[in-house]
Structure 1
């Protein structure tokens, strides 16, 4: 016989199903159960920590509103994770709904729901699917657009603005850049936009967090549930792919990538280099990534650095109204601190700390002193193996395909050896990696080519000048 409480729960479920749609309801609420109802609190439970984390992050307020349609005086919801361990009959103390949600992964109040930690070890595998923490500052509103990041920003914005059912334009979207150039900012901006305004399930994970989740799932024998939950994501955002290590982990990532893309789900990935340059990356993953939209974010030009500084000062002034940095000082910092955006942020933080702690104005002398260690010598431009192959092929009037082929005619062998030599002296790539990038050759072939050119350069001034000219072209 259905009790009055259960009748109310059935009506709440119907109301929730009508609001979110059948697909979302089936994914997130079908296994939610009513544990009890008292004067001001309803006690609900779900079977996994992942479901609990997702519901508290995306649908807490909707659940509360639907229940208030049955119980107008309802003030709180207690959400727990069901486990084989018998829970205490005394419910935990509930508190008023929090005005602002805490960061991901914390078992505290969230939009009127107070959660309890899971007691069964089996749910540990799903902790990673609660997502990696998001920085509230990293949104599209705070991202400063310039010539070096326009395309990456536009592509990320298009992904964030899409809705369920829209055609996926760029899949996967792969953004690569050096440290501190804004790739993590864009990825987190996509996650924030999706969590706030989209009807899609958006999950942001670092590669390290993905590895942790997969390994935990294997250890707790919940790998199938982990895979199913991960592949139910509408937009999967993976940061720092270069840290994805391990053959089995890469194989699982490859399966997940293929499954999501084939199902029309969006995948966004960031790394510090293009797919072809990530050593030890599974060839299937490399191929799938290269088949999407690969976008590089370049170095920050002085004009863009100045815009970033102005933006950061304006943001700091919202919390510290008396903080002022004159335009000449900002221009000096923009000229001097050239490496990345994090150094610019650090420079502003130092000036802000001095201003708040001493009460003294920010002067040019102070700025020069504070940023002294942030001024780094200019590093030579990073040369890519593809560039070497292109420049060498053009110089010797052969095709890049010739350099990668098995042809051994004289007009191809010498340019190929020169290109291998330049790859060894101008990049940090290992001999096996260089060999792989030259048509899958063995590292001994590369070593022979390097030694051959080194010997010729010592005895042939014409060749030495030729190679120096190629180096200059590549480093300009």
Structure 2
């Protein structure tokens, strides 16, 4: 065992230490203190050797290679890791095993303090203990630390429920109770409720479920509502909601920190996975999602996905993944009709009235907002919020006149229908007789490059998408590529009247 520990000495270090050396720790109390520090170092080397022997080289490298001992104070061993993800995973799966290894080497150690290092410094994150919960004295400049039973290896501690439910942040207002249903979204709502109910009982019904619509029609609301409802009865259930951007961030971070295996294991341990904004998933992250989707479905774990286009139009995904999504339950949410828009405005007005004493939304105002704002649900929510703010800040009663004055920019959107990048790709591909997937490819031939540049120009001109977002939608290109295309088309238009007329024709086709 000692020889194993000695061989392991070069792979760990306290904060700021260099690989291959034993880090120097500050001496506080003379020789006795220094000896205690050396003893702790030796115990930690032997603990690492025990863990390596118990879990094997691959698992040890994935989970424990960057786990460092900060100090031992009394019966508490303070450990640190570089990322929140690694901290959460160790806390959920390996605390008891680590504690057993410590106890085997030094029976006086009965608690673990696991923290996340920030800019090379450790910060409090979680404490595990084999003793009943107790208060830990707060130290100056250090956040308060709770003690929880070591049994957190089998289920998350109560303080980690938010992390379990929110790989991306969940909005507590987005529940089934606050969702307004109508003919456009009734089927999607019913399916979402059924999925949540089944997941709460560890049952899988439709799998995967794919919800698609244009922006602002309630996809994110439904995914949040499923997460809250499915996790309400059992906080130990592993429910994860991730936007596509957050999924890519996790994956790229895992690759950069050489913990891709750990990331994959974490994904495969999920009971209910909810992925939002699927259209933004690009590159190797899309490939990893495909593997995760297949694994979770094969393991009878529920997957719910939302995007702004049907699965067949998600060009960034390979055919197998699109086939998997299409083979599940695909639910569209269509544009809201006047009745649903009015119901949404009435619901939001009632909610506002419950918060502000004396606030009143007359029926003519509700009718005016529902009739005038036809873009999507978020604009309806925004309209109500603006009227409430105007009333509270100025004291002016909510009237149709106030609405006309306050909501001018939202109402103008009725005159200019919202154009989607997906529509631009279809129109440009059809007009120039270029396959849609060629516009997203890396081909550089003139018959593809010019239509692609025109499509990017139209996306910048007719949508509110940022340059990086447009680049992602065009095959994962950099925003500088989009900017170059926009400027190139503008230059050509200034020199070529026929091209200007041609692009104007495309613009009218898109705005019809």
Which interval holds the TM-score relative to the shorter structure?
0.5 to 0.7
Contact 2:208–2:302 (8 Å) recurs in 1: yes
Relative to 1, partners in 2 of residues 1:287 and 1:163: Cα closer, same or farther, differing over 3 Å? closer
1:117-156 to 2 correspondences below 5 Å: 131-156=167-192
How many Å apart are 1:151 and its aligned residue? 0.9
Q: Which residue of 2 aligns with 1:451?
A: none
Kindly state the Cα deviation for residue 42 of structure 1 after the two structures are TM-superposed. 8.5
- Structure-1 separation of matches of 2:435 and 2:336: 33
- In structure 2, relative to structure 1, the CA distance for the partners of 1:154 and 1:46 (3 Å cut) is farther
Gaps of 5+ in 2: 1-66, 93-110, 125-136, 147-156, 440-444, 451-508
Q: Determine which of 262, 272, 275 is the counterpart of 1:225.
A: 262
CA deviation vs aligned residue, 1:328-372 (integer Å, no higher than 9, x gap): 110111011111011111111111111110112111111112122
What's the secondary structure of 1:298's corresponding residue? Answer: coil
Instruction: Judge conservation of contact 1:434–1:443 (CA < 8 Å) in 2.
Output: no
Cα distance, 1:242 vs structure 2: 0.5
Deviation of 1:137 after TM superposition, in Å, equals 1.0
TM normalised by structure 1 equals: 0.59
Alignment of 1:257-296 (within 5 A): 257-296=293-332
1:396 match: none
Query: Which residue number corresponds to residue 115 of structure 2?
Result: 81
Of 292-301 and 158-167, the range deviating more from structure 2: 158-167
2:403 counterpart residue number:
367
Change (3 A) 1:222 1:312: same
How much does 1:284 deviate?
1.7
Q: Give 1:160 deviation, angstroms.
A: 1.1
- After superposition, the Cα gap between the structure-2 partners of 1:164 and 1:371, relative to the gap in structure 1 and judged at 3 Å, is closer
Where do residues 312-351 of structure 1 align in structure 2 (5 Å cutoff)?
312-351=348-387
Contact 1:128–1:210 (CA under 8 A) maintained in structure 2: no
Listed one character per residue, the Cα deviations across residues 8-51 of structure 1 (whole Å, up to 9, x for unaligned) are xxxxxxxxxxxxxxxxxxxxxxx9x9x9999xx99887977337
Give the Cα separation in 2 of the matches to 1:309 and 1:43: 55
Q: Is the 8 A contact 1:424 1:430 kept in 2?
A: no
Counterpart CA distance in 1 for 2:291 and 2:351 is 42
* Alpha-carbon separation, structure 2, partners of 1:167 and 1:320: 42
Cα contact 2:216–2:376 (8 A) shared by 1? yes
In the alignment, what sits opposite 1:357? 393
8 Å CA contact 1:383–1:426 kept in 2: the answer is no
CA contact (8 A) 1:432 1:443 kept: no
- Alignment partner of 1:431 is 2:434: yes
Counterpart residue number, 1:379: 417
Question: What value does the CA root-mean-square deviation take over the aligned residues?
Answer: 4.5
Segments of structure 1 that go 5 or more residues without pairing to the other structure are 1-30, 58-76, 98-109, 116-126, 386-421, 437-441, 448-471
Pairing partner for 1:206 from 216, 226, 243: 243
Q: Residue 84 of structure 2 aligns with which residue? A: 49
CA shift at 1:314, angstroms?
1.5
CA pair 254-266 structure 1, distance change in 2 beyond 3 A: same
Equivalent position to 2:280, from 243, 248, 253: 243
Q: Deviations over 1:415-467 (max 9, x none)?
A: xxxxxxx965797998222789xxxxx9989x9xxxxxxxxxxxxxxxxxxxx
Q: What is the rounded CA distance, in whole Å, between the counterparts of 1:139 and 1:261 in structure 2? A: 25
Give the superposition deviation at 1:373. Answer: 1.4
Classify the secondary structure of the residue corresponding to 1:365: helix
8 Å CA contact retained: 1:36, 1:42:
yes
Q: Give the 3-state SS of the residue equivalent to 2:114 in structure 1.
A: strand
Report deviation, 1:54. Answer: 7.6
Q: Secondary structure at the match of 2:215?
A: coil
State whether residues 429 and 435 of structure 2, in contact with CA within 8 Å, keep that contact through their aligned partners in structure 1: no
Say how many residue pairs are matched.
330
CA drift at 1:277:
1.4
Question: 4+ runs of 1 displaced by more than 4 Å?
Answer: 35-38, 41-48, 51-57, 85-97, 110-113, 127-130, 380-385, 422-430, 442-445
CA distance in 2, matches of 1:344, 1:306: 9
2:165–2:227: 8 Å Cα contact kept in structure 1?
no
